[in-house]
Chain A
Amino acid sequence: MKSALVHSGITPTWGNALEIQNLSKKFGNSLALNRVSLSVRTGEVHGLLGSNGSGKSTLIKILAGFFSPEPGAQIRLYDQELNLPDIGQMAHRFGLAFVHQNLGLIPSLTVTENLFLGSIATQQNWNIEWRELHRSAREIFVQYNLTLDPTAMVAALSPVEQAMLAIIRAHRELLATENDHPGILVLDEPTPFLPRKSVDQLFELIRTCKDKGSSILFVSHDIDEVREITDRATVLRDGELIGTFDTHDTDHETFVAQIIGRDLDKFAGSNVTRDTRKTLVKVTDLEAHNFGPVSFDIAEGEILGMTGLIGSGFSSVPSILFGSGNSYSGLFKFDGTNIDLTKLCPRQAQELAIAYLPADRLGSAGIGSISVADNIALPVYPEIRGRWGLTDKQVLDHGRLMGEEAGVKPNDPILPLASLSGGNAQKALLKKWLQISPRLLLLDEPTQGVDVGARQQIWDALVNSAANGASILIASTDYEQLACLCHRVLIFAKGRIYGELTAPDLSKNAIAESCYQSMVASS
């Protein structure tokens, strides 16, 4: 029936702008998406909700052509079937445009240059009329009820103006395609760092795009924003389709329940109560740009977790306590002595037996082109050198010993770090710090991209180290990990501590629920 309408040629109407059926994606043995179906109607703003690991970013990446889906899936755009698996180019041609969280703007170029980046980059033009381009940019902005100076640098725009520019650019691309339909705009988490007032502006723009007939797929973790802007919303959890809901008939609590799920805890909390020992770290009124003030303490032998939704600021705490960033204030008391946070540098932190393992494994934590042995030995070169200086043999022997203890496979320390799998590289890099017996260990997403087996070994190593008296701080969005490992978890929202969960109530779901509640309470 639908296709008959399309082929009749007179004022085509479409049922659904985007129709996804049976979409699955496997990574190794784990199922990131399990036979998910969803449809976006023409002229609809459709929300996509789910917590970390729910599969929503996998779904978006399949649509954008980064991943290919498992066989058996069907994707239709305005009744046109896409050839799977390679849909990247086709999706673009048939009217799918993306605005990802990083926006894809070039900050050092002007607004006009960014707006017409696509055509400037791909079309030959030996005589670009800048005056003309600026004028048409201004005209385009008027259509969207927006005043932006086309000659301004993008870097000088406010965050919301940058987001709006990216959205307008994507929408222009949709309208410029040779289709007779208005296309679908996919907005992937466009709001997490925006203040409320800016979100209103952004929503106004989304409604304008909708009024021009386009459909919008709005991906977000923020339930209230989804309820405000969308007509319907689809919830994913652990790769499963939970359902599609009419947003106006669904309240906040229902969404939370759907996102988190009410089924029994698969992973119960560690429920470890620590014996009260002396406080090693005491942080008071820690403040940075868009962050704080926050105060907390960590006892000896305690594993403290920090978490929150994207943009809540918890992830900056480990690097601040290691003195690796700049411009922050607050009191940091370590083992009874006051430490000047403004002067703290990684070297000094290390002398105090503070260690920090960043999340960016081959960018900040270790060097891929250098051997595993050297990567491990870097902080302890002076200790392992012999009378005649450091030799490769000493470094390799040390690396082999440490690799053995940490369970690095293959334990061949002469290999470059980059040749190890993520999990084994992480084991080696964790050992790099555990070997100095740190009194405070700061970790940022310690098991990101790490396989299950390695994850357990890393957890064991951390629990072991805490049992020997080390204080451990873990910043992570992996709720399961926090529930399994931590004695205490602090929930962050908008740069502050929103709540604290301790042993008896510590579970994956409790943390997730707390994170979503924090969003409501702080807005």
Chain B
Amino acid sequence: MDHNSNPVTAESYEQRIARLESKLSSLEQGFKTKSLLQRPVDWKASSEKFGLLAAWLAVILILGAFQPEQMFSWNSYATMFGSNAMIIVLTLALIVPLTAGDFDLSVASTMGLSSMVLAVINVKLGMPILFAIFLALSIGAVIGAINAYFILYFRIHSLIVTLGTGYFVNGLILWISDSGTIAGVSMGLVNAVILYRFLGIPLGFYYVLILTVAIWYGFQHTSLGRRLLFVGRGREVARLSGVNVIQMRAGALILSGLLSAFAGILYTGMRGSADPSSALAFLLPAFAAAFLGSTSIYPGRFNAPGAFIAVLFLSTGIMGLSFLGVDSFVQNLFYGGGLVLAVSISQLIRDRAPMD
């Protein structure tokens, strides 16, 4: 009755409701499109992403304040890029199995063996350099395959296996080299790695740049690379999703051996000679760079651009310190401290979840 007696107010009431509802829905719509399209710039995320680049810049500026003429000269960097190329390759060799969840402690030894094999075949046996390169790469792949066999068939932890094979390989290096340095490697290789330059930077650096892009593409833009991440993060999940986990892990270890061997070739080419022990010292820098790199660009994942920048960051620091005339033991402090610091930072990113 009430309703009939006063139709005007009833109607206006309904109209009001309708108006409010339409206003509400338009507001909701606006909110939705806004939140979908205009994601606010996430400062925390981008500072995480580019933190390492900023740190690199900061190191250059700080050290440059003390040694401006050396730190701000293009020549220093061109030389440094060239002479650290093989560390970048070694770091890339590490992050492939690390992404698949396996440690490879034999990378530096494989690098040393490859370097020595190259010199022995080319210098002592006098065979052509291309054949020597082919053989050195094959040996790297074989060491990777041996690691894979023991890790996957006997199900031994990768740390144990690669620690053992690495040490074994060290013995092989001393054996084939008679514990001595072999000099006189083909100038063709030396030219192609260090003597020919583009923009003042040795060619070797550009090979490594291309390799970094290739691995970045492989990790980020192929299904294979993404599956590799699943293999590393959760073997059971990957397996139950139809991924051939054994094959992926074996592939990662073999690629690691192959890349380490390539690092060895660059190393020999850079110096024109091979010695039995110096390559082994690159294991820790590579680990430090791999973990430091995993805190940036794609934070929380081992990634090629991050590794690339991390090596350059660490090398810049060491270069600057040597310009300042600091003793060479600082290298050890820098790399060792860098590794622990990098892992601590990446743990903070992961909210200190236990590492597996």
Residues of A within 8 A of B (CB): 322, 324, 346-347, 349-351, 356, 358, 363-367, 369-370, 374, 377-379, 381-382, 385, 388-392, 395, 432
In the complex, whether B171 has a CB less than 8 A from a CB of chain A is no
Closest B residue to A364 by CB, please name it: B236
- Find out whether the CB atom of A346 lies under 8 angstroms from the CB atom of B221: no
Closest A residue to B244 by CB, please name it: A347
- Find out whether the CB atom of B241 lies under 8 angstroms from the CB atom of A379: yes
Q: Give the tally of cross-chain contacts (CB within 8 A).
A: 69
A324 to B237, CA, bound (A): 11
Question: Which 4 residue pairs spanning A and B have beta carbons closest together?
Answer: A381-B223, A389-B221, A350-B242, A367-B234
Identify B242's interface contact among A346, A369, A374, CB under 8 A: A346
Residues of A within 8 A of B244 (CB): 347
Most chain A C-beta atoms within 10 Å of own C-beta, residue among B223, B226, B230, B244: B223
Residues of B within 8 A of A374 (CB): 226, 229-230
Most chain A C-beta atoms within 10 Å of own C-beta, residue among B236, B240, B300, B350: B240
Residues of A within 8 A of B300 (CB): 369
In the complex, whether B60 has a CB less than 8 A from a CB of chain A is no
Main secondary structure of the interface of A (DSSP, over half): helix
- Find out whether the CB atom of A365 lies under 8 angstroms from the CB atom of B240: yes
- In the complex, how many angstroms separate the beta carbon of B239 from the nearest chain A beta carbon? 6
Identify B241's interface contact among A369, A378, A385, A388, CB under 8 A: A378
A389 to B217, CA, bound (A): 8
Main secondary structure of the interface of B (DSSP, over half): helix
A385 to B223, CA, bound (A): 8
Chain B contact residues (Cβ within 8 angstroms of A): what range? 20 to 34
- In the complex, how many angstroms separate the beta carbon of A450 from the nearest chain B beta carbon? 19
- In the complex, how many angstroms separate the beta carbon of B69 from the nearest chain A beta carbon? 43
A390 to B223, CA, bound (A): 7
23 A-B pairs in the complex with CB atoms less than 8 angstroms apart: A324-B240, A346-B240, A346-B242, A347-B244, A349-B242, A350-B241, A350-B242, A363-B234, A363-B236, A364-B237, A367-B230, A367-B233, A369-B233, A370-B229, A370-B230, A378-B241, A378-B243, A381-B223, A381-B226, A382-B223, A385-B223, A390-B226, A391-B221
Residues of A within 8 A of B239 (CB): 324, 346
Residues of B234-253 contacting chain A, CB below 8 A: 234, 236-244
Give per-residue flags for B104-129: 1 if the beta carbon is below 8 A from chain A beta carbons, else 0: 00000000000000000000000000
A366 to B241, CA, bound (A): 9
A366 to B230, CA, bound (A): 9
A390 to B220, CA, bound (A): 7
- In the complex, how many angstroms separate the beta carbon of B238 from the nearest chain A beta carbon? 8
- In the complex, how many angstroms separate the beta carbon of A131 from the nearest chain B beta carbon? 34
In the complex, whether B222 has a CB less than 8 A from a CB of chain A is yes
Residues of A within 8 A of B227 (CB): 378, 381
